[in-house]
Amino acid sequence: MSTTVADRAIERCRASERHVDSSRRLLAHSRRLLNRAWWVAGGSDVDGDGNHGTKGVIHIECRKHAGEPSEYLISFGGDTDGVFFLGKASGFDPLTAFLRKLGIPASSMRTALQVLMAEPHHKIPNVTLTQDHFRELGL
């Protein structure tokens, strides 16, 4: 029997489906490997509400530029290592908005702003970030 055009089309569709399935699995695996924040210790912790999140420390580093607003680099990780870059902000108002997106309490934000007026670095401990936070930041 000869192979018809329809049979060849069906065969190619099935091969394409296998390629798509393989690509989907590889992409999912790559996302997990590239999303380093979930490799930080405690990445599979569950809070009291049953939300999965990563508990760690927010690091804020101030870089002052002459005649311009200070630039703040915000990262997340352990107390001393495992730091994952979250973003940057120029000035106190954008920094406050960024910290608000991360769910940082107002009292911790006030403390951070006061410390950063005098010091180039500040840490906000015991912060839990979820996948929703990372999605909102485009990470």
pLDDT tens digits along 112-128? 888 888 888 888 888 88
What integer pLDDT is reported at residue 45 of this predicted model? 47
Predicted confidence (pLDDT) at residue 54 exceeds the cutoff of 60: yes
Q: Which two tokens stand for residue 3?
A: 């192979």
Higher pLDDT, 42 or 60: 60
CA atoms within 13 A on the CB side of 81: 2
Give the mean pLDDT of 17-23: 75
Q: What is the pLDDT of residue 29?
A: 60
* Model pLDDT, residue 136: 75
pLDDT value of residue 90:
87
Q: In which band, very low, low, confident or very high, does the pLDDT at 4 lie, cut at 50, 70 and 90?
A: confident
Judged on CB neighbours under 10 Å (0-12, 13-18, 19+), 71 is: middle
Does pLDDT of 25 surpass 80?
no
pLDDT tens digit sequence for 57-87? 888 888 876 667 788 888 887 766 557 788 8
The answer to whether 60 and 95 are in contact (CB under 8 A) is: yes
CA distance 125 to 57: 4
Q: What percent of the chain has pLDDT over 70?
A: 72
